[in-house]
Amino acid sequence: MNVDSNVNYDDVIPNNVNLSDNRKLQRAIREWHPKFMKWWWDRGPEGFQNSDVFLRTAISVDSSGWATYAYVRMPEYKWGIFLAPQRREPTIHFGDKLGEDTWESVPGEHRNDLRRLIVTQADTEPGSVEQQQKLGYSSPSLYDMRNLFQVNVEEARHLWAMVYLLQQFFGRDGREEAEELLVRHSGSADAPRILTTFNEPILDWLDFFCFAMFTDRDGKYQLGALAESAFNPLSRTTQFMLTEEAFHLFVGETGVGRTIRRTAQLMKEVPSEDVTTVEGIPLNLIQKYVNYWYSVSLDLFGSEDSSNAASFFASSLKGRFGEGNRKKYPDASCKEAWYMIKALDENGNDCNIEVPMRRAMNAVLRDSYIDDCNRAVRRWNKVLEDEDISFRMQLPSDRFNRKIGIHATHHADPDGSYLTKEEWERRKYEWVPSEKEKAYVRSVMVPVKEAGRFANWITPPNRGISGKPIDFEYVRL
Ligand code: BYC
Ligand code: FE
Ligand code: FE
């Protein structure tokens, strides 16, 4: 894609923000675009930039036909800018400004907070693409390879969605932030991504599936919270991002589910049930990956007791998930309420911490997320039940392996029982994958590049993409 002053902007950047009439925004995009493309080539999916990939591209916000499917080379993907249709009355529906008009531009007093929220959200999107940069080389099928690239181009579009807000509403500061987003990078020593989890390596496909299951799901909940915002362009941008997000979660949940099913099948084929003799991934090792990615994803909610969260809620910048549902959340102000958090005291005993509701908004959002994760885990366990295997997957306690928040000060096992530092160091590989186990997982991840064939450690999906058969050539190598 080429963006210069002669192009018809609406042709190269699908949008519903009147880009072709907005000279100022065109200028900002023209500046930023070559840097974005350089970033995409340097840090985007490696090894397959010249392949034709059967990709979905967002072209409108019409719910009956918002995307098209076609073979596209990734660098030619049309990254667009979309605001979802106005969903509710343009009045603020929670916090201290209840009933006032929502904002079409950024109020001065909230400029810093909004900028920080948008930059933090934006930073995760390219971060995830960088983390997944080399996975194409070991993909278990063309179907999975295509899904990886689909997620990657859409995360890059989410970056565009946030950069649009920065460039359109935050003037020069916003344009500078947009550039910084392409300078920081995942795992960098001097300019890392802002949030912890986006600096963790994703080295194999089980990492990727767990990340899409648990970390993209944090995305779903954070975007849902921002979709409640009084800053209307942020609300409508994040609402549209959620339509794409559903597929990312599908990739994660079904990816882990297909791995679990394959292991269950292999367990019945090998007399010892030791699937490592046939290059499968043992269920208890899958559980360790789940423990790891779930716990690092919980860290993305910030502290359970947070003055930032209280002020984001009070100022109506960020709501709860489904804030507009007053059956679920009858109290739109949350000034008087309290939230109880089960924690450990300094002696390692269970205790309850009561936090003023507004300060507990990160925990409230996180608890909605945990319920959602549990629903998905129940679907995995249905797979095990179907296959007649007695093992059951489960989520560890929210105290397990935490680096952020009230549980970060001590160690706990997956049941939430207190451990001394020494006990944790001695026993942690009972619960999270060791280097040796990770090396084993990488060793079974041999690339499969023949349409319709799948690596031995995973089952084929139930169906293909967009009505195509499973043996469709999803990527033309
Ligand atoms: N890592 O009051 P606290 C996605 C910082 S995922 C590093 O506890 P607060 C995606 C915090 O920033 C969704 N730093 O937290 C998924 C603060 O710093 P300052 C991403 C952390 O502010 C997959 C300090 O600690 N979107 O889209 O209430 C693929 C004290 O903070 C972390 C968002 O996160 C951490 N884990 O909440 C692709 C939404 N946690 O102010 C994409 C926007 C906390 O002292 N972000 N800190 O410098 C937010 O809403 C908030 O910034 C957070 C933190 C919820 C992240
Ligand atoms: Fe995203
Ligand atoms: Fe995502």
pLDDT along the chain (477 residues), means of 10: 77 95 96 97 98 97 92 98 90 97 98 98 98 98 98 98 98 98 98 98 98 98 98 98 98 98 97 94 98 98 98 98 96 97 90 97 98 98 98 98 96 96 98 98 98 98 98 97
For residue 271, what pLDDT is reported? Answer: 85
Question: What are the backbone angles phi and psi of residue 424, rounded to the nearest 5°?
Answer: -60, -50
Distance (angstroms) between ligand 2 centre and the Cα of 132 equals 13
Assign 3-state DSSP to the chain and report helix, strand, coil percentages, each to 5. Answer: 50, 10, 40
**Per-chain residues with Cβ under 5 A from ion ligand 2:** 125, 155, 158
Q: Whose C-alpha lies nearest to ligand 1, atom 49?
A: 117
Predicted confidence at residue 461, as pLDDT, reads 98
Q: Which atom of ligand 1 is nearest to the CA of 318?
A: 50
* 124 CA → ligand 1 middle, Å: 10
Looking at residue 189, what is its pLDDT? 97
Mutate to test the pocket of ligand 1, among 150, 151, 208, 308 (most ligand atoms within 8 A of CB): 308
Q: What is the pLDDT of residue 24?
A: 96
Q: Whose CA is nearest to atom 38 of ligand 1?
A: 125
Using the mean position of ligand 1's atoms as its centre, give its distance from the Cα of residue 95 in Å: 20
> Looking at residue 186, what is its pLDDT?
98
Residue nearest to atom 11 of ligand 1 (CA): 302
Instruction: Using alpha carbons, list the distances in angstroms from residue 473 to 35, 56, 73, 143.
Output: 32, 15, 14, 8
- pLDDT of 1: 62
289's CB contacts (< 8 A; 6+ apart) are: 206, 207, 210, 433
In this predicted structure, what is the pLDDT of residue 289? Answer: 98
Position in ligand 1 atom list of the atom nearest CA 211 = 23
Which residues line the pocket of ligand 1, CB cutoff 6 A? 117, 120-121, 124-125, 128, 155, 195-196, 215-216, 218-219, 222, 299-303, 306, 308-309, 318, 362, 404
Q: Is 71 helix (H, G, I), strand (E, B) or coil?
A: strand
Whose CA is closest to 343, among 394, 412, 437, 278? 412
- Of ligand 1's atoms, which has the minimum distance to the CA of residue 226? 39
Tokens of 402: 């935490």
Q: Which ligand is located closest to the Cα atom of residue 302?
A: 1
Distance set, CA 434 to CA 289, 290, 429 (Å): 10, 13, 6
Domains of the chain: 85-476 (1.10.620.20)
Rounded distance, CA 351 to CA 333, Å?
A: 27
Task: State the pTM of this model.
Answer: 0.98
Question: Cα separation of 259 and 380, whole Å?
Answer: 10
Ligand 1 atom closest to the Cα of residue 217 is 16
Give the pLDDT of residue 63. 83
